[in-house]
């Protein structure tokens, strides 16, 4: 059975792929190089004239809104509501003063009134 499949494989003529043979000629290589140059230049222009200004505009709008929010939180801080599941400490945190998480923020996270 093994011998028959070997013969069947070798009996079928293998042809090269027609679409890849153009690349290996000097003309095909030059065309590919020119296409790459044009594509690189197109994406460079898109990056410089579309992506960077878009990032700058979005960053400006986001920071403006965030600074307004921070200003509001400084003048009107949130009040603390003592729920039983908040501030449960079985042992101290191994960093800082042991009572605050690494994400604790004095403006956004009010202290419980003891």
**Which pLDDT does position 36 carry in this prediction?**
94
Task: Kindly write down the DSSP assignment for every residue of 1-70, as one continuous string.
Answer: -HHHHHHHHHHSPP---HHHHGGGSHHHHHHHHHHHHHHHHHHHHHIIIIIHHHHHHHHHHHHHHHHHHH
Global pTM reads: 0.51
Q: What is the pLDDT of residues 62-91, one digit of tens each?
A: 999 999 988 888 888 777 788 888 878 889
Q: What is the pLDDT of residues 13-66, one digit of tens each?
A: 555 555 556 667 888 888 989 999 999 999 999 999 999 999 999 999 999 999
Token pair 């003891």 is at which residue? 114
């Amino acid at each position: 059975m093994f011998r028959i499949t070997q013969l069947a494989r070798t009996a079928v003529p293998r042809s090269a792929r027609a679409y890849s043979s153009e690349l290996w000629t000097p003309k095909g290589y030059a065309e590919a190089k020119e296409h790459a140059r044009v594509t690189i230049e197109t994406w460079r222009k898109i990056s410089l004239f579309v992506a960077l200004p878009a990032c700058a505009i979005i960053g400006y709008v986001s920071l403006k809104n965030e600074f307004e929010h921070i200003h509001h939180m400084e003048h009107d801080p949130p009040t603390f509501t003592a729920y039983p599941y908040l501030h449960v400490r079985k042992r101290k945190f191994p960093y800082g003063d042991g009572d605050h998480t690494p994400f604790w923020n004095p403006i956004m996270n009010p202290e419980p009134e003891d």
